[in-house]
């Protein structure tokens, strides 16, 4: 590598190529190929609209040559080829490419037959009416700006985007190692979906699909089936089948014809007709006597396929669907840039990120308007002082040459800004000021300032503004769906093919998970050594084991207070000694995030609550229905303070008693009614007061009149059951009572469970061993005792987790 000073730097070519290619790849990903999740634009589209906005090429102004706009974009913001800018500009003006055109073109901008646009020196364009709303309030400090390529000018990093453009117009692009293909949607439906999320924060994916039915292509067509839509909206990837819309008409002479009135998205009409002609000539499709294109100049599709006298129109149509692009697939990849990084997004995530963006825009706009109003009010206060002393003010100005400002400030206590505002006025204007007008303007400003401060202090008001602005957009530009959605033949829910059965799910310390049949483990006598329950790496061990149905919704709560969900059958099944699947391949966990609690849910019924306990003794109760919108990408279940973790979650009916147990053997019991229901993101209240660096390791809920016993297991394999009558109900927030006599021999408590004589219990060690025994074989002892040996740990292993097996689950084995 030559340097200006003549020296040569030797470098490893492999490392140099790797570094250079990574730089190139990131440049393509971020600067060219992928849209931003907030405004749905790639940089070139954003720069085109911003340049037109700066040049005043708005809908109410005359068209301007495209060459002029392309030159402005190239010269100011986009140092690439002119064809890349013009091609992007042309697509923004095509009503068969965009569901809602961002540019109003005048001239030949191409056609659905694949005809190219005229040269940029011939075509003219201006912003469309809807695109104006992409830049509304951009001058009010609503978005960040960055230097352009040569640092002469500033350009926006994103547009304010009052239109949810990413979903409304979709996007497609091929980057390096990844691609995006987001279909367009109906504006009215997308806005209805956003409003529903704002009104009902716990809206589920299924409920969201009641508002947003599916993609809505500008070329109309028919989408077959909802499964591909559902998969794409829930996972960010899916494939849908799109079919041309066709009608069969009867003709004279006992003949029929097929009229094609719409095509799948991005299908070239001319090539389709050419392909049909070729298939007829090759006799791969029979029964067609004539083929005509009667589409009009406005790109309204009308392809006439006349049939022979003895041809069956439905059979011919089916052949056309099978052998031509009259039926095509659209692969959905909802990939967009989030904070400059490419991410696969679900439908809910796309809308959530847009709502967050609009919230930020409105807050920044409000702050800008508040600052402006405060500045004007400050000047008006100075003018009021000047009016009260108008003669003296005028005398000071007339008698002073270069120190009038300082004299005004000293005499009347004015600020520099107020004094300058007075001096900037002509004496005639100053003397002619009317107090009533100034007072009226000042009072109006005070009301505006109060309102703006209310907005900044109220999330509800911000959301109300978002809704109002979206409703305005919907009323101006909303329309009916163009693409129909019909059920596919034989469409079914994948769950219908999954047999409902009980299973055991194991989760390891390093995050491997698997599903196993419940009869994998047979009961053993107390004091046994157990069988190998799961193969682990030497330093890994089974952390958690639970039972569920394959049809249950499994709620996974992480130590960081987030909630994820899977269906039981979505957890891969594996053998008893198999390692399992890394849970990060199933859930979008952050670095350092681990699953700390699991709740199988049959349905999200009213009257049920999730009771949560943290390591530092806090407890929270929230209605189960608030978590129905949980998704694989995570939902905040509880807000945690620093150095705290979520350790247990239980499903209750709100009428139980709560038991909290610490690892040092303390326990408190209190009425669940002492914990009022809170919102999804609340922190909770004090459940137990901890001493000597103690931490909570278990929580249970006790149903009134329960005959169960409290089972406690220690890390050295000791355990006991204790009657619930020994635990008196106390006030929430106390220190509790002793529930276990902790000694070096027993070790600290690792788990507690409410059990009855019909239960079995599983003990799991840190080396992967599991022992299963009958609960009625475990002694019932008093609170202040150390228990009996349940599992030998002579090899230095420690018990790390326990799980009970219910009677009905035992029946499954039999």
- In DSSP terms, 698 is beta-bridged to 661
Residue-wise pLDDT for 250-306, tens only, equals: 888 778 899 999 999 999 999 999 999 999 999 888 889 999 999 887 668 999 999
pLDDT of residue 530: 47
Per DSSP, the chain holds a count of helices (H) and strands (E) of: 18, 41
Question: Region 607-615: what's the mean pLDDT?
Answer: 92
Beta carbons of 490 and 473 less than 8 angstroms apart: no
Give the CA distances from residue 798 to residues 116, 323, 597, 768, in Å, rounded to whole numbers and listed in that order.
72, 64, 20, 10
CA angle 254, 258, 259 (to 5 degrees): 130
Q: Does residue 694 contact residue 611 with C-beta atoms inside 8 Å? A: no
- State both tokens at 270: 């001319």
pLDDT at residue 728 above 70? yes
Q: Is there a contact between 301 and 269 (Cβ–Cβ < 8 Å)?
A: yes
* Torsion-angle region of 807 (φ positive above 0: left; ψ -120 to 50: alpha; else: beta): alpha
pLDDT score, position 155: 94
Task: Quick: pLDDT tens for 116-154.
Answer: 999 999 999 999 999 999 999 999 999 999 999 999 999
pLDDT band at 329 (very low <50, low <70, confident <90, very high): very high
Give per-residue pLDDT as tens, 654-713.
888 999 999 999 999 999 999 999 988 889 999 999 988 899 999 998 887 788 899 999
The pLDDT value given to residue 28: 55
Residue 813 has pLDDT above 50, yes or no: no
Q: What is the pLDDT of residues 416-447, one digit of tens each?
A: 999 988 888 876 676 666 778 888 999 999 99
Asked whether the predicted pLDDT for residue 312 surpasses 80, the reply is no
What's the pLDDT tens digit per position in 536-560? 555 555 667 778 888 888 899 999 9
Q: Which helix (H) or strand (E) holds 357?
A: helix 347-388
Mean pLDDT, the chain, integer:
87
**Cα torsion 186, 158, 79, 18: sign:** negative
Contact 591, 547 (CB under 8 A): no
Q: What is the pTM of this model?
A: 0.60
Residue 734 corresponds to which tokens in the numbers above?
Answer: 């106390």
Cα–Cα separations (whole angstroms), residue 102 to 46, 353, 551, 684, 762: 11, 22, 45, 48, 62
Q: What is the CA radius of gyration of the chain?
A: 35
Instruction: Kindly indicate the confidence band of residue 607, based on its pLDDT and cuts at 50, 70 and 90.
Output: confident
Q: How many Cα atoms are found within 13 Å in the side-chain-facing hemisphere of 657?
A: 20
> Could you list the active site residues?
122
Torsion of the alpha carbons at 95, 101, 104 and 110, rounded to the nearest 10 = -30
- Residue 751 CA to residue 801 CA, distance in Å, equals 6
Annotate 508-558 with DSSP letters as a single string: ETTSEEEEEEGGGS----TT---EE-S---TT--EEEEEEEETTSEEEEEE
């Amino acid at each position: 590598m030559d340097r200006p000073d003549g020296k040569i730097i030797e470098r490893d070519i492999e490392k140099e190529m790797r570094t250079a290619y990574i730089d190139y790849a990131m440049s393509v990903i971020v600067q060219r190929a992928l849209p931003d999740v907030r405004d749905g634009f790639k940089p070139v589209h954003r720069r085109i609209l911003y340049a037109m906005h700066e040049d005043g090429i708005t809908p109410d102004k005359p068209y301007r040559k495209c060459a002029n706009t392309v030159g402005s974009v190239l010269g100011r913001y986009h140092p690439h080829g002119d064809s890349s800018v013009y091609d992007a500009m042309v697509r923004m003006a095509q009503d068969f490419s965009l569901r809602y055109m961002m540019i109003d073109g005048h001239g030949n901008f191409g056609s659905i037959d694949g005809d190219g646009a005229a040269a940029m020196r011939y075509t003219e364009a201006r912003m469309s009416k809807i695109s104006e709303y992409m830049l509304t309030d951009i001058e009010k400090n609503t978005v960040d700006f960055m230097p352009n390529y040569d640092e002469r000018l500033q350009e926006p990093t994103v547009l304010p985007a009052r239109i949810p453009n990413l979903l409304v117009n979709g996007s497609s692009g091929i980057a390096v190692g990844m691609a995006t293909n987001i279909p367009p949607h109906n504006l009215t439906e997308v806005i209805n979906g956003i409003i529903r999320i704002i009104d009902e924060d716990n809206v589920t994916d299924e409920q969201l699909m009641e508002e947003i039915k599916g993609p809505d292509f500008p070329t109309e067509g028919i989408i077959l089936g909802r499964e591909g839509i559902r998969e794409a909206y829930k996972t960010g990837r899916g494939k849908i089948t799109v079919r041309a819309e066709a009608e069969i008409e009867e003709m004279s002479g006992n003949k029929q014809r097929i009229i094609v009135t719409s095509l799948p998205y991005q299908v070239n009409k001319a090539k389709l007709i050419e392909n049909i002609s070729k298939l007829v000539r090759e006799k791969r499709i029979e029964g067609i006597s004539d083929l005509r294109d009667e589409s009009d100049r406005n790109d309204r599709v009308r392809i006439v396929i006349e049939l022979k006298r003895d041809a069956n129109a439905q059979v011919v149509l089916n052949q056309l669907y099978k052998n031509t692009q009259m039926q095509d697939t659209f692969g959905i990849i909802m990939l967009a840039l989030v904070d400059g990084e490419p991410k696969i997004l679900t439908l809910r995530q796309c809308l959530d990120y847009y709502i967050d963006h609009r919230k930020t825009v409105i807050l920044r706009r409000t702050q800008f308007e508040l600052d402006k109003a405060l500045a004007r009010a400050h000047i008006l206060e100075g003018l009021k002082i000047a009016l009260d002393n108008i003669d003296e003010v005028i005398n000071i100005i007339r008698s002073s040459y270069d120190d009038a400002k300082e004299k005004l400030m000293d005499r009347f206590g004015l600020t520099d800004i107020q004094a300058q505002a007075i001096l900037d006025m002509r004496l005639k204007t100053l003397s002619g000021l009317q107090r009533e007008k100034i007072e009226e303007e000042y009072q109006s400003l005070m009301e505006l300032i109060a309102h703006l401060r209310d907005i900044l202090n109220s999330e509800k008001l911000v959301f109300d503004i978002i809704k109002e602005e979206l409703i305005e957009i919907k009323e101006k530009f909303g329309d009916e769906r163009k693409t129909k959605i019909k059920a596919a033949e034989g469409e079914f829910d994948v769950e219908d093919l999954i047999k409902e059965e009980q299973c055991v799910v194991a989760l390891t310390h390093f995050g491997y998970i698997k599903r196993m049949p419940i009869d994998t483990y047979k009961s053993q006598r107390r004091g046994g050594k157990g069988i190998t329950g799961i193969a682990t790496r030497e330093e890994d061990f089974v952390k958690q084991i639970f039972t569920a149905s394959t049809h249950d919704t499994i709620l996974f709560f992480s130590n960081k207070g987030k909630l994820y969900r899977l269906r039981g059958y979505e957890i891969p099944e594996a053998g008893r000694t198999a390692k399992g699947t890394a849970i990060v391949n199933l859930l979008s966990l952050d670095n350092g995030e681990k699953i700390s609690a699991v709740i199988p849910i049959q349905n999200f019924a009213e009257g049920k609550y999730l009771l949560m306990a943290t390591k530092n003794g806090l407890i929270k109760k929230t209605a189960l229905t608030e978590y129905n919108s949980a998704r694989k990408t995570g939902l905040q279940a509880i807000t945690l303070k620093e150095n705290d973790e979520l350790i247990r979650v239980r499903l209750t009916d709100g009428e139980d008693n709560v038991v909290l147990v610490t690892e040092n053997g303390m326990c408190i019991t209190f009425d669940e009614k002492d914990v009022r229901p809170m919102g999804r993101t609340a922190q909770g209240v004090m459940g137990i007061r901890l001493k000597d660096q103690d931490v909570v390791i278990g929580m249970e809920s006790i149903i009134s009149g329960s005959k169960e016993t409290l089972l406690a297991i220690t890390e050295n394999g000791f355990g006991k059951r204790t009657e619930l009558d020994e635990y008196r109900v106390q006030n929430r927030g106390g220190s509790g009572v002793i529930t276990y006599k902790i000694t070096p021999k027993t070790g600290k408590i690792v788990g507690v469970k409410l059990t009855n004589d019909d239960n079995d219990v599983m003990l799991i060690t840190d080396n992967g061993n599991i022992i299963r025994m009958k609960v009625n074989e475990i002694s019932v002892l008093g609170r202040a005792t150390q228990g009996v040996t349940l599992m030998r740990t002579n090899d230095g292993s420690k018990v790390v987790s326990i799980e009970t097996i219910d009677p009905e689950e035992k029946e499954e084995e039999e």
